[in-house]
Amino acid sequence: MASQTYNAGDIQVLEGLEAVRMRPGMYIGTTSSRGLHHLLWEIVDNAIDEASNGFATEITVTLHKDGSASVYDNGRGMPVDTHPALGISGVEVIFTVLHAGGKFNNENYDYSGGLHGVGASVVNALSRELSVDVFRNWTHYRMEFTSRINPKTGKVEAGKPSGPLQVLGNTRKKGTLIRFMPDDTIFEDVRFQTETVARRLQELAYLNKGVQITFTDERLSGDERSRVFRYEGGISDYVLYLNTGKTPLREDVIYLEGRRDTIICRAAIQYTDGYTESLFSYVNNINTPEGGSHETGFKAAFTKCLNDYARKAGLLKEKDNNLSGEDFREGLTCVLTTMVKNPQFEGQTKGRLGNSEVRPAVEAIISQQMTDWLDNLKNQDTASAIVAKAIKAAQAREAARKTRDNIRKASALEAAPLVGKLASCTGRKWEDNELFIVEGDSAGGSAKQGRDRRFQAILPLRGKPLNVEKKHLDQVLGNEEFRSLITALGTGIDENFSLSNLKYGKVIILSDADQDGAHIRAILLTFFLRYMKDLITNGHVYIGMPPLYKVQKGQKVIYAYDDRELGKATKAAGKGYTLQRYKGLGEMNPEQLWETTMDPSQRKLMRVSIEDAALVDRLTTVLMGDKVEPRRDYITEHADFNRPDDFELPDQPAQEGGM
């Protein structure tokens, strides 16, 4: 909080914001594109807070042609009266006092996870210019701020008011409009990504029922330019959206909501005929891919209620064991949101809720709500269908366990062909070792010859592996390609997966740069996503990038990895070069493959991350599932096979070495 005396406070203000510019990473994590977007989320969060507190109904977000972004909400408008201790307007405090986060000690604002609570002042400090228009008391107020190097003193000024809070006139409008221009001397890339912004706003609209969010990207023309997100069904609509492309077991969505003390919890659930569990949890509108106490409470209550019901309804007999949580979650799509005061985010990526008081609260809410739901006569058909499905899941799980045991017993026999396929490496440090999964035997051969055998192992894949989407575990285990892969990795699979047995720090998928290669890549990623998710979330999965072209002039060779680089390479080569287009990895000899694709000092790798787990899940179903219609729609709408990013798994480039 701000200091109590005006003078001291004033000094702190100046020091504070400059500190943000000195060490932006400390406040927004990174100055990459992700950090840039954090600025926008921070402002959007304040608008969402105003809406979820019942004061605003509409939010508009605009990306302007000049590179700035603006956010408006039709709420109360930021406070403009003078702050008693600081002697400056509320607006000025919010934008210039660090850590005030713009949030005075106000009960209403305690829920905000904000961007880890850093506040509007950080956005101001990292913007070249920021303006705020407040429409309040039928008056239009405006204040502007600038960050620059003062030409007279040579000193850095961060988020300094360009003048006092102005009164511009009367207005019938209400609310707050903030526009800011991110500072291009701070951020590596100051371009906002249309899809990143659209996706987050859509997610927020689902999570905040009835709030209308209009997104306009003024840099675009046509249909894409403006979109309106508004969902009267909230997270129930979200679940239906996530299940596009899946076949629901029953049409109805189970909606549970309740409150214990200050903890609010809501869940929407729909079962599909599939086998995967898709549970997406949020705390204060922030995704928690690593789960935490709210998920634990939810799962405990959900499993117990359904087991109790199954016994009462006679679907489980006295002699039968209880069904497991996994059994009840097969085919489940669920969005769970929780509002928590002072949330503690833990884990490597701060994606897990730590607050222990949340577990019993959520457990109590879900128990009571779910029991009511199960007791309701009109839900009996759905309830029995859920139990029947879980009983089948338990049987399949038992079958898979037997298969696994058999494989384990047979592995002495089978070890020979596996070892024959895998060319292992000699290094002892698993972190440094790399496993290349290579498409095709001929490329596999080149890779084996070209590699550095001290730390690079090669596993060639014959043909296309099995598409695991909608396959049961025993079928996956019955597939030879996946068995070799599981054996090679050493981790086990699904419930038995353990990262601590992993034999390679990097698992690199190497497939051709054509549609077949993309398909193989998608199949492997689907496998990792469904059965070894932690391998991805812990950053062990990579995609190797073979070059598409070789430009040669005399002795000089330049490899180009996309069409843009090809343009640069041919320009650099001048007249009289020869151009080779690689159609597949198999066309490269071992030396070329090493130089372009495997040598850590030259190659390009993309690290696979799950930035938006819900999106990945939906797209995996749409692209890999068995419904043709949604896939065709998606592909006709999005695919451009000349663009490397047309398979929209949000990969994060991990520039290694670089070109």
Residues marked active site are found at 439, 512, 514, 516
- By Cβ distance, which residue is nearest to ligand 1YM? 46
* Rounded CA Rg of the chain: 28
Q: What secondary structure does DSSP assign to 301-358, as a single string?
A: HHHHHHHHHHHHTTSS-TTSPPPPHHHHHTTEEEEEEEE-SS--EESTTS-EE--TTH
Work out whether 69 is an interface residue with ligand 1YM (CB under 6 A).
no
> How much helix, strand and coil, in percent to the nearest 5, is found in the chain?
40, 20, 35
Cα–Cα distance for residue pair 649/615, rounded to 1 Å: 8
Between 76 and 401, name the residue whose CB sits nearer to ligand 1YM: 76
Candidate segments 102-110, 184-192, 227-235, 382-390, binder of ligand 1YM by CB under 6 A = 102-110
Candidate segments 40-48, 222-230, 401-409, 607-615, binder of ligand 1YM by CB under 6 A = 40-48
Cα torsion 368, 373, 374, 379 to 10°: value is 180
Between 38 and 506, name the residue whose CB sits nearer to ligand 1YM: 38
Cα torsion 493, 497, 498, 503 to 10°: value is 10
Work out whether 46 is an interface residue with ligand 1YM (CB under 6 A).
yes
Q: What single-letter DSSP state applies at residue 598?
A: I
* Candidate list 47, 425, 437, 459; residue touching ligand 1YM; CB under 6 A: 47
- What is the DSSP pairing of strand 226-229 with strand 166-170? unpaired
* Candidate list 94, 165, 256, 374; residue touching ligand 1YM; CB under 6 A: 94
Q: Which of residues 175-204 bind ligand 1YM (CB under 6 A)?
A: 176, 178
Between 134 and 370, name the residue whose CB sits nearer to ligand 1YM: 134
* Candidate list 37, 103, 329, 359; residue touching ligand 1YM; CB under 6 A: 103
Work out whether 108 is an interface residue with ligand 1YM (CB under 6 A).
yes
Kindly state the smallest distance separating residue 384's Cβ from ligand 1YM, in Å: 48
Record the tokens describing residue 122, joined without a space.
Answer: 């950080």
Cα–Cα distance for residue pair 420/157, rounded to 1 Å: 65
Between 106 and 153, name the residue whose CB sits nearer to ligand 1YM: 106
* Candidate list 41, 95, 109, 455; residue touching ligand 1YM; CB under 6 A: 109
Kindly state the smallest distance separating residue 291's Cβ from ligand 1YM, in Å: 30
Work out whether 305 is an interface residue with ligand 1YM (CB under 6 A).
no
Record the tokens describing residue 288, joined without a space.
Answer: 């928690």
Between 41 and 561, name the residue whose CB sits nearer to ligand 1YM: 41
Kindly state the smallest distance separating residue 167's Cβ from ligand 1YM, in Å: 18
Work out whether 322 is an interface residue with ligand 1YM (CB under 6 A).
no
Q: Are 236 and 257 in contact (CB under 8 A)?
A: no
Cα–Cα distance for residue pair 429/451, rounded to 1 Å: 17
Tell me the three state secondary structure of residue 395.
helix
* Candidate list 2, 43, 186, 502; residue touching ligand 1YM; CB under 6 A: 43
Kindly state the smallest distance separating residue 69's Cβ from ligand 1YM, in Å: 11
Between 72 and 302, name the residue whose CB sits nearer to ligand 1YM: 72
Work out whether 137 is an interface residue with ligand 1YM (CB under 6 A).
no
Work out whether 114 is an interface residue with ligand 1YM (CB under 6 A).
no
Work out whether 73 is an interface residue with ligand 1YM (CB under 6 A).
yes
Q: How many residues form the binding site for ligand 1YM (CB under 6 A)?
A: 21
> Could you give the residue ranges of the DSSP H alpha helices within 53-89?
none
Which candidate, 34, 363, 61, places its Cα nearest to that of 190?
34
Work out whether 457 is an interface residue with ligand 1YM (CB under 6 A).
no
Between 104 and 430, name the residue whose CB sits nearer to ligand 1YM: 104
Candidate segments 69-77, 199-207, 471-479, 539-547, binder of ligand 1YM by CB under 6 A = 69-77
Work out whether 427 is an interface residue with ligand 1YM (CB under 6 A).
no
| Sign for the pseudo-dihedral over CA of 436, 620, 396, 373 | positive
Work out whether 106 is an interface residue with ligand 1YM (CB under 6 A).
yes
Record the tokens describing residue 28, joined without a space.
Answer: 């927004």
Candidate segments 97-105, 278-286, 436-444, 614-622, binder of ligand 1YM by CB under 6 A = 97-105
Tell me which long-range contacts 614-619 makes (C-beta under 8 A, separation of at least 24). 614/203, 614/242, 614/278, 614/280, 614/287, 615/199, 615/648, 615/650, 616/529, 616/649, 616/650, 617/242, 617/276, 617/278, 617/280, 617/529, 618/241, 618/242, 618/244, 618/245, 619/648, 619/649
Work out whether 79 is an interface residue with ligand 1YM (CB under 6 A).
yes
Q: Which residue has the tokens 């002699």?
A: 319
Work out whether 76 is an interface residue with ligand 1YM (CB under 6 A).
yes
* Candidate list 9, 24, 35, 75; residue touching ligand 1YM; CB under 6 A: 75
Kindly state the smallest distance separating residue 132's Cβ from ligand 1YM, in Å: 8
Kindly state the smallest distance separating residue 173's Cβ from ligand 1YM, in Å: 13
Kindly state the smallest distance separating residue 262's Cβ from ligand 1YM, in Å: 16
Candidate segments 104-112, 122-130, 162-170, 332-340, binder of ligand 1YM by CB under 6 A = 104-112
Q: In this structure, which amino acid lies at residue 438?
A: V
Tell me which long-range contacts 339-342 makes (C-beta under 8 A, separation of at least 24). 339/111, 339/263, 339/264, 339/265, 339/283, 339/284, 340/111, 340/262, 340/263, 340/283, 340/284, 340/294, 341/110, 341/111, 341/262, 342/110
Work out whether 50 is an interface residue with ligand 1YM (CB under 6 A).
yes
Cα–Cα distance for residue pair 149/18, rounded to 1 Å: 11
**Residue ranges binding ligand 1YM (CB under 6 A):** 43, 46-47, 50, 71-73, 75-76, 78-79, 90, 94, 102-104, 106, 108-109, 176, 178
